[in-house]
Amino acid sequence: MKGWMGKTKALLLFTMLTLFLTACGKENLTALAPKGYGAESSMNLIILTTLIMVGVFVVVMIIYVIALVRFRRKKGQEDYIPKQVEGNHTLETVWTIIPIVLVLIMGVPTVIATFDLADTSNASEHLNVEVTGNQYWWHFNYDGEEIVTSQDLYIPTGERVYLNMMSSDVIHSFWVPTISGKMDVNPENVNTMYIEAYEEGVYWGKCAELCGPSHSLMDFKVIAVSPEEFDQWVSDMQAVDPEEEPQDTVAQEGKELFEANNCMACHAIGSSPAAIGPNLTNFGDRTTVAGILEPTKENLVDWIMDPESIKPGNKMTGAYPSISEEEANSIAEYLLQLKPSEITPESAGN
């Protein structure tokens, strides 16, 4: 009785823990609530394979229970030997053909969906974005638009956006689970996929390939806005003047410090020049600092002062002279005022 009660308590505890864990996570960071074409295709495959696996499990358990009940040893039949069926060609044929059929039922739709999501035949008719994976951030260059951003990828809803992806260092993997599947981002070749968001929103993206000590911190966002808002965002970004002076005195000082400390050697504002660090054109509109911190001035100052403590292994550490907290505060004030457009994550309902 004690053993039975212990197992019951363990099962109850496990069930409660499972229910509790289902509530963990972030909105728009799940493949189980698809809001895009790629994620919907993946979800259909998940449902198909799950139904097949559950069906196989149920059938096997039914046969198992029947065998236990019908062929259990009975009193007076201790020496009884059931009819042996080894070498039965009919049975062997059935349990060979059934798994093959089930694999085909799962495999054929999977192959079709894989080729569909990698189809680039109509790419020239849609928006194309060059995506570069870096340790530990993402770079986005909009083809033909003269727009460069980092970390936040703006796209219009209801339209395919083709992503031509390549890595500048090690292998990464681009994944926005709520609207698309994942694609490896390699340093040797360009991989292309398309994404399409059905509705406006801020969708979390992850690097899904172990790429270094801060792999788990390599987050980014896809900002899906209406086509009209996207067109407005494009116009605003194209109108950015990198030389424009801030109105605030502290921000002006921050801009001077930003340039004096050689920050422009790695970062760019506007579509040029090319830079080896994240583009900062619309930094003030971003939903996070360094991809992981709340976008507050305090967090930004902490990042400027000691990026290594926040993202170990990042390439910003040691790339600029040591600065005081007051100087970091002025630079942060300048960066947080870089808001070229009224179209922001809030426009997408963040």
Q: Is the dihedral of CA 325, 328, 334, 337 positive or negative?
A: negative
pLDDT of res. 348: 74
Task: Going residue by residue through the chain, which has 350 residues, state the pLDDT in tens, using 9 for 90 and above.
Answer: 455 566 777 778 887 877 776 666 667 788 888 999 999 999 999 999 999 999 999 999 999 999 888 877 777 777 777 777 777 788 888 889 999 999 999 999 999 999 998 889 989 999 999 999 999 999 999 999 989 999 999 999 999 999 999 999 999 999 999 999 899 999 989 999 999 999 999 999 999 999 999 999 999 999 999 999 999 999 999 988 888 888 888 888 989 998 888 888 888 888 765 668 899 999 999 989 988 899 999 999 999 999 999 999 988 888 888 889 999 999 999 999 999 999 988 877 66
Enumerate domains of the chain plus CATH numbers. 22-74+87-118 (1.10.287), 249-348 (2.60.40.420)
| The pLDDT of residue 207 | 94
